[in-house]
């Protein structure tokens, strides 16, 4: 079976608002107030919790690895309690997933979000059952850009790892697909969209309406 594997944050959904809120919870606890700014720091948010803490601490001139380590669990706890308050799927994302599944492709997720949080988010949003696989940052001993999480997501979705395509939004996704020897499609509607062309993926995605045709062009029809 051919499979279409999606990154989650910044690809299927804009999760930046809830991520930034969790980071700012930590900064308020430190006495700094809201350090990160909704919208302006969206690209930072989509690089993960440690990156948000690092970026914010450097902004206030108090960065240390120990502080990031200390507050990361607090960030995860705050995020888990309000994981779906501001998160929204990008226009056409779920419709494209339905079309791909209906055409016979296996559909899964490979994310560097911890698996438990990714599962919680998708469940809260009512779409967990639409994805045959979910591989997170801690599912395996390695994470993206190592190719094995992508390969495992394809296998768990019922497919052959050589017959998949990765839909993502970052150099991490581009490098993961390249290491796995499969094509990547990078979205241009996320916070870092203007930078995607320079990564030279096999295709750029400007709207999810175009994804089914791109998938067929890159890995062939499902059947």
Task: Give the catalytic positions in this structure.
Answer: 7
- 3-state per-residue secondary structure call for 135-163: ECCCCCCCCCCCCHHHHHHHHHCCCCCCC
Half-sphere exposure of 214 (CA within 13 A, CB side): 21
Residue 29's CB is within 10 A of a number of other CB atoms, namely: 12
DSSP summary character for residue 38: T
CA-based R_g, the chain, Å: 17
Q: What are phi and psi of 195, to 5 degrees?
A: -95, -5
What is the Cα–Cα distance from 12 to 46, expressed in whole angstroms?
A: 12
DSSP summary character for residue 90: P
- Surface-to-core class of residue 200, CB atoms within 10 Å of its CB (0-12 exposed, 13-18 middle, 19+ buried): exposed
Q: Pairing relation of β-strands 106-110 and 184-187?
A: unpaired
């Amino acid at each position: 079976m051919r499979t279409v594997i999606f990154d989650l944050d910044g690809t299927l959904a804009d999760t930046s608002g809830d991520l930034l809120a969790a980071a700012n919870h930590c900064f308020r606890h430190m006495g700094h107030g809201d350090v990160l700014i909704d919208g302006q720091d969206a690209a930072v948010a989509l690089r993960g919790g440690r990156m948000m803490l690092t970026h914010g601490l450097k902004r206030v001139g108090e960065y240390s690895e120990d502080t990031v380590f200390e507050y990361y669990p607090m960030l995860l706890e705050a995020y888990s309690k309000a994981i779906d308050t501001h998160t929204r799927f990008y226009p056409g994302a779920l419709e494209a997933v339905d079309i791909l599944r209906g055409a016979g492709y296996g559909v899964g997720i490979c994310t560097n979000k911890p698996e438990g949080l990714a599962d919680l988010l998708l469940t809260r949003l009512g779409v967990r059952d639409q994805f045959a696989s979910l591989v997170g940052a801690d599912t395996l001993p390695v994470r993206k850009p190592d190719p094995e999480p992508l390969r495992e997501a394809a296998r768990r979705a019922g497919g052959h790892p050589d017959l998949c395509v990765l839909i993502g939004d970052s150099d991490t996704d581009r490098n993961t697909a390249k290491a796995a020897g499969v094509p990547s499609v990078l979205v241009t509607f996320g916070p870092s969209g203007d930078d995607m062309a320079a990564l030279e993926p096999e295709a750029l995605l400007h709207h999810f309406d175009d994804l089914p045709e791109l998938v067929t062009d890159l890995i062939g029809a499902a059947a």
